[in-house]
Structure 1
Amino acid sequence: MKIEEAFYIGYITKTKGLKGEIQLFFEYDAPELLELDVIFADHNGKMVPFFVSSYKLHSNNTGNLYLEDVDHIDKAQALLKKKIYLPLSKMPDRSDEDFHYNDLKGFVVIDETHGKLGEIIEVNEYPQQFVATISHKKTEILFPLNDDMIIEIDEDERTLTVDLPDGLLDIYINP
Protein backbone atom coordinates (compact mmCIF):
# COMPACT_ATOMS: atom_id res chain seq x y z
CA MET A 1 0.00 0.00 0.00
CA LYS A 2 1.16 3.53 -0.79
CA ILE A 3 0.69 6.55 1.45
CA GLU A 4 -1.68 8.07 -1.14
CA GLU A 5 -3.99 5.10 -0.58
CA ALA A 6 -4.26 5.79 3.15
CA PHE A 7 -5.41 8.44 5.60
CA TYR A 8 -3.58 9.57 8.71
CA ILE A 9 -5.12 8.78 12.11
CA GLY A 10 -2.37 9.53 14.65
CA TYR A 11 0.98 8.44 16.02
CA ILE A 12 2.47 6.12 18.64
CA THR A 13 3.29 8.07 21.80
CA LYS A 14 4.66 5.46 24.20
CA THR A 15 4.91 1.87 25.24
CA LYS A 16 3.04 0.50 28.22
CA GLY A 17 4.21 -2.45 30.23
CA LEU A 18 6.63 -5.15 29.11
CA LYS A 19 4.36 -7.16 26.80
CA GLY A 20 4.41 -4.83 23.79
CA GLU A 21 1.36 -2.68 24.50
CA ILE A 22 1.51 0.72 22.76
CA GLN A 23 -0.39 3.96 23.13
CA LEU A 24 -1.73 5.64 20.00
CA PHE A 25 -2.62 9.34 20.06
CA PHE A 26 -5.47 9.94 17.62
CA GLU A 27 -5.40 13.08 15.50
CA TYR A 28 -8.44 11.76 13.64
CA ASP A 29 -11.47 13.58 15.05
CA ALA A 30 -13.69 10.52 15.67
CA PRO A 31 -11.51 7.53 16.66
CA GLU A 32 -14.54 5.56 17.84
CA LEU A 33 -15.67 5.30 14.19
CA LEU A 34 -12.40 3.72 13.03
CA GLU A 35 -12.07 0.05 12.20
CA LEU A 36 -8.78 -0.89 13.85
CA ASP A 37 -8.20 -4.48 12.72
CA VAL A 38 -5.05 -3.57 10.80
CA ILE A 39 -3.02 -0.36 11.00
CA PHE A 40 -0.14 0.85 8.87
CA ALA A 41 2.98 2.50 10.24
CA ASP A 42 4.99 4.87 8.07
CA HIS A 43 8.53 3.46 8.19
CA ASN A 44 10.81 5.63 6.03
CA GLY A 45 8.10 6.13 3.42
CA LYS A 46 6.98 2.48 3.40
CA MET A 47 3.62 1.48 4.81
CA VAL A 48 4.21 -1.46 7.17
CA PRO A 49 1.04 -3.35 8.22
CA PHE A 50 0.40 -4.43 11.81
CA PHE A 51 -2.57 -6.55 12.81
CA VAL A 52 -4.32 -5.38 15.96
CA SER A 53 -5.09 -8.20 18.37
CA SER A 54 -6.91 -5.97 20.88
CA TYR A 55 -7.39 -2.32 21.73
CA LYS A 56 -9.11 0.00 24.18
CA LEU A 57 -10.05 3.61 23.40
CA HIS A 58 -9.86 6.36 26.03
CA SER A 59 -11.70 9.68 26.25
CA ASN A 60 -8.50 11.76 25.84
CA ASN A 61 -7.99 10.86 22.14
CA THR A 62 -5.70 7.95 22.97
CA GLY A 63 -6.01 4.21 22.75
CA ASN A 64 -3.95 1.29 23.98
CA LEU A 65 -3.25 -1.41 21.41
CA TYR A 66 -1.74 -4.86 21.33
CA LEU A 67 -0.37 -5.82 17.93
CA GLU A 68 0.22 -9.35 16.68
CA ASP A 69 3.95 -10.18 16.65
CA VAL A 70 4.71 -7.22 18.95
CA ASP A 71 4.90 -9.15 22.19
CA HIS A 72 7.77 -7.43 23.97
CA ILE A 73 8.64 -3.86 24.95
CA ASP A 74 11.74 -3.95 22.70
CA LYS A 75 9.60 -4.59 19.62
CA ALA A 76 7.13 -1.88 20.68
CA GLN A 77 9.96 0.67 21.19
CA ALA A 78 10.72 0.50 17.47
CA LEU A 79 7.23 1.93 16.77
CA LEU A 80 7.55 5.04 18.96
CA LYS A 81 6.71 8.31 17.16
CA LYS A 82 5.66 6.43 14.00
CA LYS A 83 2.74 7.95 12.09
CA ILE A 84 -0.19 5.56 11.79
CA TYR A 85 -2.54 5.24 8.82
CA LEU A 86 -5.57 3.27 7.71
CA PRO A 87 -6.51 2.38 4.11
CA LEU A 88 -8.84 4.87 2.40
CA SER A 89 -11.35 2.03 2.08
CA LYS A 90 -11.74 2.11 5.89
CA MET A 91 -12.48 5.83 6.13
CA PRO A 92 -15.79 6.25 7.94
CA ASP A 93 -18.65 7.68 5.86
CA ARG A 94 -19.73 11.19 6.75
CA SER A 95 -22.72 13.18 5.64
CA ASP A 96 -22.19 16.13 3.31
CA GLU A 97 -22.92 18.56 6.16
CA ASP A 98 -20.07 17.05 8.19
CA PHE A 99 -17.22 19.41 7.27
CA HIS A 100 -14.10 19.29 9.42
CA TYR A 101 -10.97 21.41 9.51
CA ASN A 102 -9.04 18.34 8.25
CA ASP A 103 -11.05 18.63 5.02
CA LEU A 104 -9.25 21.91 4.26
CA LYS A 105 -6.08 20.09 3.16
CA GLY A 106 -5.48 21.08 -0.46
CA PHE A 107 -7.49 24.32 -0.22
CA VAL A 108 -5.87 27.57 -1.37
CA VAL A 109 -5.59 30.21 1.36
CA ILE A 110 -6.42 33.81 0.51
CA ASP A 111 -5.67 36.47 3.11
CA GLU A 112 -7.73 39.68 3.03
CA THR A 113 -4.60 41.83 3.30
CA HIS A 114 -1.89 39.82 1.53
CA GLY A 115 -3.93 38.02 -1.14
CA LYS A 116 -3.22 34.44 -2.25
CA LEU A 117 -0.80 32.76 0.17
CA GLY A 118 -0.66 29.14 -1.00
CA GLU A 119 -2.14 25.70 -0.59
CA ILE A 120 -2.78 24.02 2.77
CA ILE A 121 -0.36 21.10 2.87
CA GLU A 122 -1.18 19.91 6.38
CA VAL A 123 -3.81 20.35 9.10
CA ASN A 124 -2.78 19.35 12.61
CA GLU A 125 -5.01 19.09 15.65
CA TYR A 126 -3.58 20.27 18.94
CA PRO A 127 -5.36 20.18 22.31
CA GLN A 128 -6.60 23.78 22.02
CA GLN A 129 -7.01 24.20 18.25
CA PHE A 130 -6.38 23.13 14.67
CA VAL A 131 -3.33 24.56 12.90
CA ALA A 132 -2.92 24.80 9.11
CA THR A 133 0.44 24.64 7.34
CA ILE A 134 0.81 26.32 3.97
CA SER A 135 3.75 26.57 1.62
CA HIS A 136 4.33 30.23 0.74
CA LYS A 137 7.36 31.16 -1.40
CA LYS A 138 9.25 28.03 -0.26
CA THR A 139 8.55 28.85 3.40
CA GLU A 140 6.17 26.88 5.60
CA ILE A 141 3.70 29.13 7.42
CA LEU A 142 1.55 27.92 10.29
CA PHE A 143 -1.62 29.62 11.46
CA PRO A 144 -4.53 28.61 13.70
CA LEU A 145 -7.86 27.67 12.19
CA ASN A 146 -10.62 29.32 14.17
CA ASP A 147 -13.86 31.16 13.58
CA ASP A 148 -12.28 34.54 14.36
CA MET A 149 -9.83 34.30 11.44
CA ILE A 150 -11.90 32.39 8.88
CA ILE A 151 -14.03 34.65 6.71
CA GLU A 152 -15.24 32.16 4.11
CA ILE A 153 -14.81 28.52 3.13
CA ASP A 154 -15.70 27.92 -0.53
CA GLU A 155 -15.90 24.16 -1.00
CA ASP A 156 -16.64 24.44 -4.74
CA GLU A 157 -13.61 26.65 -5.48
CA ARG A 158 -11.55 24.91 -2.73
CA THR A 159 -10.53 28.25 -1.23
CA LEU A 160 -10.25 29.46 2.35
CA THR A 161 -10.47 33.22 2.89
CA VAL A 162 -8.89 34.38 6.15
CA ASP A 163 -7.97 37.55 7.98
CA LEU A 164 -4.65 36.71 9.63
CA PRO A 165 -3.50 38.83 12.58
CA ASP A 166 -1.12 41.70 11.84
CA GLY A 167 2.49 40.56 11.99
CA LEU A 168 1.85 36.81 11.75
CA LEU A 169 3.24 36.52 8.21
CA ASP A 170 6.17 38.79 9.10
CA ILE A 171 7.38 36.21 11.61
CA TYR A 172 7.88 33.73 8.77
CA ILE A 173 8.79 36.02 5.88
CA ASN A 174 11.09 38.49 7.66
CA PRO A 175 12.66 36.50 10.51
Structure 2
Amino acid sequence: MIKQEEVYRIGKIGKPHGVKGEVTLFFDDDVFDRVDADYLVLAIDGILVPFYMEEWRFKTGETALVKFCDIDTKEQASALTGSGVFFPKHLSDRGEDELTWDEIKGFRIVDTNRQDAVVGEVVAVDESTMNVLFEVETPSGSIVLVPANEDIVKEVNTKERLIKVDLPEGLVDLNDNE
Protein backbone atom coordinates (compact mmCIF):
# COMPACT_ATOMS: atom_id res chain seq x y z
CA MET A 1 0.00 0.00 0.00
CA ILE A 2 1.33 3.42 -0.98
CA LYS A 3 1.43 5.96 1.85
CA GLN A 4 0.87 9.71 1.44
CA GLU A 5 4.34 10.50 2.81
CA GLU A 6 5.93 8.37 0.05
CA VAL A 7 4.59 10.57 -2.78
CA TYR A 8 4.07 14.21 -3.63
CA ARG A 9 1.38 15.86 -5.71
CA ILE A 10 2.30 16.88 -9.24
CA GLY A 11 -1.11 17.54 -10.78
CA LYS A 12 -4.54 16.18 -11.61
CA ILE A 13 -6.32 14.27 -14.35
CA GLY A 14 -8.59 16.22 -16.69
CA LYS A 15 -11.04 15.00 -19.30
CA PRO A 16 -10.51 12.03 -21.59
CA HIS A 17 -8.84 12.78 -24.91
CA GLY A 18 -10.34 10.79 -27.73
CA VAL A 19 -12.03 7.41 -27.39
CA LYS A 20 -9.10 5.04 -26.73
CA GLY A 21 -8.50 5.76 -23.05
CA GLU A 22 -6.12 8.70 -23.22
CA VAL A 23 -6.47 11.41 -20.54
CA THR A 24 -5.27 14.96 -20.10
CA LEU A 25 -2.80 15.43 -17.24
CA PHE A 26 -2.54 18.95 -15.80
CA PHE A 27 0.82 19.08 -14.04
CA ASP A 28 2.84 21.49 -11.90
CA ASP A 29 6.01 19.38 -12.05
CA ASP A 30 7.19 17.51 -15.16
CA VAL A 31 9.30 15.08 -13.10
CA PHE A 32 7.80 12.16 -15.04
CA ASP A 33 9.72 13.48 -18.07
CA ARG A 34 13.02 14.14 -16.24
CA VAL A 35 13.41 10.78 -14.52
CA ASP A 36 12.85 7.19 -15.59
CA ALA A 37 9.45 6.28 -14.17
CA ASP A 38 7.03 3.71 -15.51
CA TYR A 39 4.06 4.80 -13.43
CA LEU A 40 2.23 7.66 -11.76
CA VAL A 41 0.14 7.37 -8.62
CA LEU A 42 -3.51 8.44 -8.72
CA ALA A 43 -5.80 9.09 -5.77
CA ILE A 44 -8.85 6.92 -6.43
CA ASP A 45 -11.57 7.13 -3.75
CA GLY A 46 -8.95 8.23 -1.21
CA ILE A 47 -6.58 5.34 -2.02
CA LEU A 48 -3.23 5.88 -3.74
CA VAL A 49 -3.06 3.53 -6.74
CA PRO A 50 -0.16 3.11 -9.19
CA PHE A 51 -1.08 3.44 -12.88
CA TYR A 52 1.52 2.33 -15.39
CA MET A 53 1.96 4.58 -18.40
CA GLU A 54 1.76 3.00 -21.84
CA GLU A 55 2.73 6.28 -23.50
CA TRP A 56 2.49 10.02 -23.03
CA ARG A 57 3.26 13.24 -24.88
CA PHE A 58 3.28 16.91 -24.00
CA LYS A 59 0.34 18.95 -25.22
CA THR A 60 1.40 22.31 -23.70
CA GLY A 61 3.86 23.43 -21.03
CA GLU A 62 1.38 22.45 -18.33
CA THR A 63 -0.52 19.55 -19.89
CA ALA A 64 0.30 16.13 -21.25
CA LEU A 65 -1.77 13.43 -22.87
CA VAL A 66 -1.30 10.12 -21.06
CA LYS A 67 -2.36 6.60 -22.00
CA PHE A 68 -2.37 4.29 -18.97
CA CYS A 69 -2.13 0.52 -19.34
CA ASP A 70 -5.54 -1.24 -19.21
CA ILE A 71 -7.46 2.03 -19.65
CA ASP A 72 -8.74 1.48 -23.17
CA THR A 73 -12.08 3.28 -23.46
CA LYS A 74 -13.39 6.79 -23.02
CA GLU A 75 -15.62 5.50 -20.19
CA GLN A 76 -12.67 4.03 -18.29
CA ALA A 77 -10.72 7.26 -18.80
CA SER A 78 -13.71 9.33 -17.62
CA ALA A 79 -13.64 7.48 -14.29
CA LEU A 80 -10.17 8.97 -13.66
CA THR A 81 -11.24 12.60 -14.28
CA GLY A 82 -10.47 14.83 -11.31
CA SER A 83 -8.08 12.37 -9.66
CA GLY A 84 -5.03 13.84 -7.99
CA VAL A 85 -1.75 12.73 -9.56
CA PHE A 86 1.26 11.98 -7.39
CA PHE A 87 4.87 10.97 -7.98
CA PRO A 88 6.95 8.59 -5.82
CA LYS A 89 9.54 10.54 -3.81
CA HIS A 90 12.11 7.74 -4.12
CA LEU A 91 12.11 8.12 -7.93
CA SER A 92 12.26 11.91 -7.88
CA ASP A 93 15.27 14.00 -8.86
CA ARG A 94 14.62 16.67 -6.26
CA GLY A 95 16.77 17.31 -3.23
CA GLU A 96 16.01 15.78 0.13
CA ASP A 97 14.98 19.11 1.66
CA GLU A 98 12.97 20.33 -1.33
CA LEU A 99 9.25 20.53 -0.72
CA THR A 100 6.28 21.18 -2.95
CA TRP A 101 3.65 23.71 -1.89
CA ASP A 102 1.27 20.81 -1.30
CA GLU A 103 3.70 19.25 1.20
CA ILE A 104 3.77 22.45 3.27
CA LYS A 105 0.19 21.80 4.37
CA GLY A 106 0.15 20.77 8.01
CA PHE A 107 3.31 22.68 8.92
CA ARG A 108 3.06 24.88 12.02
CA ILE A 109 3.90 28.58 11.62
CA VAL A 110 5.62 30.41 14.48
CA ASP A 111 6.43 34.13 14.58
CA THR A 112 9.95 34.99 15.74
CA ASN A 113 8.79 38.59 16.37
CA ARG A 114 6.42 37.32 19.06
CA GLN A 115 8.80 34.99 20.96
CA ASP A 116 8.04 32.06 18.65
CA ALA A 117 4.30 32.37 19.27
CA VAL A 118 2.30 29.84 17.28
CA VAL A 119 0.43 31.59 14.47
CA GLY A 120 -1.29 28.40 13.37
CA GLU A 121 -1.16 25.54 10.87
CA VAL A 122 -0.90 25.81 7.09
CA VAL A 123 -4.15 24.48 5.62
CA ALA A 124 -3.63 25.62 2.02
CA VAL A 125 -1.23 27.50 -0.22
CA ASP A 126 -2.58 30.14 -2.60
CA GLU A 127 -0.47 30.23 -5.75
CA SER A 128 -3.06 32.08 -7.84
CA THR A 129 -1.20 35.39 -7.70
CA MET A 130 2.40 36.43 -8.15
CA ASN A 131 2.81 36.52 -4.36
CA VAL A 132 2.32 33.02 -2.91
CA LEU A 133 0.39 33.01 0.38
CA PHE A 134 0.13 30.46 3.16
CA GLU A 135 -3.46 30.09 4.37
CA VAL A 136 -2.97 29.52 8.09
CA GLU A 137 -5.66 28.37 10.51
CA THR A 138 -5.10 30.08 13.86
CA PRO A 139 -5.75 28.43 17.22
CA SER A 140 -9.01 30.44 17.35
CA GLY A 141 -10.13 28.82 14.08
CA SER A 142 -9.87 31.82 11.75
CA ILE A 143 -7.75 31.93 8.60
CA VAL A 144 -4.85 34.37 8.22
CA LEU A 145 -2.79 34.90 5.10
CA VAL A 146 0.99 34.83 5.48
CA PRO A 147 3.23 35.79 2.56
CA ALA A 148 5.49 32.89 1.57
CA ASN A 149 8.50 34.93 0.56
CA GLU A 150 12.11 34.88 1.68
CA ASP A 151 11.79 38.23 3.51
CA ILE A 152 9.17 36.69 5.83
CA VAL A 153 10.12 32.98 5.96
CA LYS A 154 13.29 32.63 8.03
CA GLU A 155 13.55 28.87 8.56
CA VAL A 156 11.84 25.68 7.42
CA ASN A 157 12.35 22.60 9.58
CA THR A 158 11.06 19.57 7.66
CA LYS A 159 11.66 17.12 10.53
CA GLU A 160 9.56 19.14 12.98
CA ARG A 161 7.18 20.35 10.23
CA LEU A 162 7.76 23.90 11.41
CA ILE A 163 8.16 27.22 9.59
CA LYS A 164 9.64 30.20 11.46
CA VAL A 165 8.53 33.54 10.09
CA ASP A 166 9.34 37.16 10.84
CA LEU A 167 5.91 38.79 10.49
CA PRO A 168 5.37 42.53 10.35
CA GLU A 169 3.73 43.79 13.52
CA GLY A 170 -0.06 43.62 13.40
CA LEU A 171 -0.32 41.32 10.34
CA VAL A 172 -1.82 38.42 12.25
CA ASP A 173 -4.16 40.68 14.24
CA LEU A 174 -5.28 42.46 11.06
CA ASN A 175 -6.11 39.17 9.32
CA ASP A 176 -7.46 37.44 12.43
CA ASN A 177 -10.10 40.11 13.04
CA GLU A 178 -11.67 39.94 9.58
Q: 2:164 aligns with which of 160, 163, 166?
A: 160
2:42 corresponding residue in structure 1? 41
Are 2:148 and 1:145 aligned? Answer: yes
User: TM-score if structure 1 supplies the norm length?
Assistant: 0.72
1:2 corresponding residue in structure 2? 3
Residues 47 and 83 from structure 1, CA distance in 2 versus in 1: closer, same or farther, beyond 3 angstroms? Answer: same
**Structure 2 unaligned blocks of 5 or more:** none
Aligned 8 A contact 2:23 2:65 in 1: yes
**Structure 1 unaligned blocks of 5 or more:** none
1:108 corresponding residue in structure 2? 108
Matched positions, count:
171
Residues 5 and 70 from structure 1, CA distance in 2 versus in 1: closer, same or farther, beyond 3 angstroms? Answer: same
User: TM-score if structure 2 supplies the norm length?
Assistant: 0.71
Aligned 8 A contact 2:119 2:172 in 1: no
Q: Shift of the alpha carbon at 1:120?
A: 3.0
Aligned 8 A contact 1:101 1:145 in 2: no
Name the % identity: 25
Matches within 5 A, 1:1-175: 1-28=2-29, 32-58=33-59, 60-94=61-95, 99=98, 102=101, 104=104, 107-111=107-111, 112=113, 115-123=117-125, 125-126=127-128, 128-137=130-139, 138-147=141-150, 150-155=152-157, 158-163=162-167, 170=174, 173-175=176-178
Aligned 8 A contact 1:52 1:65 in 2: yes
SS in 2 for 1:89: helix
Q: Could you say what the CA RMSD is over the residues aligned between the two structures, in angstroms?
A: 3.5
Deviation track 1:135-156 (CA, whole Å, cap 9, x = no partner) reads 3224454544234x52522548
Q: Shift of the alpha carbon at 1:29?
A: 7.1
Residues 29 and 131 from structure 1, CA distance in 2 versus in 1: closer, same or farther, beyond 3 angstroms? Answer: farther
